[in-house]
Amino acid sequence: MARRRQSVTIKHVAADAGVSLQTVSRVINNEANVRPQMKERVQASIDKLGYIPSIAAQRMSGSRSYLILALNDRERTIEDWRSRQGSDWVDQMLYGGMLKCAEYGYRLIFELVDTHNDHVERELQAAIAALQPDGVILTPPHSDNPLITGVLREHNIPFAQIGSEGAGGGIPLIMGDEGAAHLATNHLVRLGHKKIGFITGSAEYLLSKWREDGWRGAMDNAGLPTDGLCAEGNFTFKSGLEAARKLLDQPARPTAIIASNDQMALAVLKVAKELGLGVPADLSIISFDNTPATRFAQPPITAIDQPIAATSSRAVELIISAKRGEDLPDAPTVIPAELIERDSTGPAADRSAANSN
């Protein structure tokens, strides 16, 4: 009779297969230096006994912990959780990262760190000492924080830098923000829009500049002006309100606005309604991120879908490759975004009469 599943240990598997504990661990971790016949023998014992591998068993094969640590900004994450406004950045990051970790027998641990905290190095050192992670995933604005990247280099821990070009010495991954802004702008240009406003994100995020650069580049390629059409935001709903009012309180207001995230796009929608502007009849709106809020807005908002899950999944793969000593890409890995068309964009309103006054 088979043992109860919860009582089966790696020792039982080793005894049943007639091999060492380290051999069982190497099979569990799918390592290359195990003969096919030995792998089949150990796997047969695992299946027969109903053994479920533990991290402790996995660690027996060498110096790996089989843990990957993901860091996210504490202040902004807690603010999003408290407001319950529909941001799913963390959900998507964990979704992609956890599933990919599971494929390789890893676990993903999620921690919040305040990038503005004077004690950020001490916080990170404590997390490293407690968890001994095989790698770390950094998300903006941590990705290019020299205090954080410096600690990771000092400990020789592979780390992925999402939304970064890799200045800190890690593995850079970007979601094609500049190209995505091109895509959004060109979509509006094809709809006949000539005055396309843009609301920037927080300056502490490199991707904010990339998105603005993409908008400016596409406008320049189309021979369209940008003067007076760029307003500063910081990814909050409040900043979106202020930026939208600045853009729309002009004699020759824009016929379309691209906002650098969904919360600011929702703010543009609110201001448009306050001013009696129809969306998209009088004003088209495009946002970045494509969180659930964009689908439930009235009208639903056209958005750049950020491939967060795919990016965190790829980050896990690259960290594991680095830990194994495998070759890594020479250039930043680009996970391209896509445009999701909804009802907030349409042909440009005929402003000829208004412009002639």
How many CA atoms within 13 Å lie on the side-chain side of 154? 10
- Reduced to 3 states (helix: H, G, I; strand: E, B; else coil), residue 127 is helix
- Give percent of the chain with pLDDT exceeding 90: 63
Radius of gyration (Cα) for the chain, nearest Å? 25
Q: Is 287 helix (H, G, I), strand (E, B) or coil?
A: strand
pLDDT value at 25 more than 80: no
| Statement: residue 4 has pLDDT above 60 | no
8-state DSSP, 176:
-
Report whether 25 contacts 60 (CB < 8 A): yes
Q: Indicate whether 146 pLDDT > 80.
A: yes
Among 305, 308, 264, smallest CA distance to 99 is for 308
DSSP SS3 for 290: coil
Round to whole Å and give the CA distance between 158 and 155. 9
What CATH number is given for 177-306+340-356 in this structure? 3.40.50.2300
Domain residues of the chain, as ranges? 5-59, 67-175+307-326, 177-306+340-356
Q: Is the pLDDT of residue 355 over 90?
A: no
Distance from the Cα of residue 12 to its chain's centroid: 41
- Residue entry with tokens 């923000």: 177
What percent of the chain shows pLDDT beyond 70? 92
- Quick check: 54 pLDDT over 70? no
DSSP readout, 221-243?
HTT---TT-EE---SSHHHHHHH
Cβ density class 195-220: b for 16+ within 10 Å, e for less: bbbbbbbbeebbbbebbbebbbebbe
Q: Where is pLDDT greater, at 240 or 17?
A: 240
pLDDT, tens digit, for every residue of 325-346?
A: 899 999 999 999 999 999 999 9
The pLDDT, as a whole number, for residue 353 is: 40
Convert the pLDDT of each residue in 305-317 to its tens digit.
999 999 999 999 9
d(CA 77, CA 318): 25
Give the CA distances from residue 26 to residues 66, 80, 321, in Å, rounded to whole numbers and listed in that order: 13, 42, 16
Number of C-beta neighbours around residue 326 at 10 A: 9
Q: Supply the pTM of this predicted model.
A: 0.79
Say yes or no: do domains 67-175+307-326 and 177-306+340-356 share a fold: yes
The burial of 252, by beta-carbon neighbours within 10 Å (0-12 exposed, 13-18 middle, 19 or more buried), is given as exposed
Does the domain made of 67-175+307-326 have the CATH classification 3.40.50.720?
no
| Residue 164 pLDDT greater than 60, yes or no | yes
CATH 3.40.50.2300 fits 5-59, yes or no: no
pLDDT at 171 over 90: yes
Q: What is the largest CA-CA distance in the chain?
A: 91
pLDDT at residue 350 above 80?
A: no
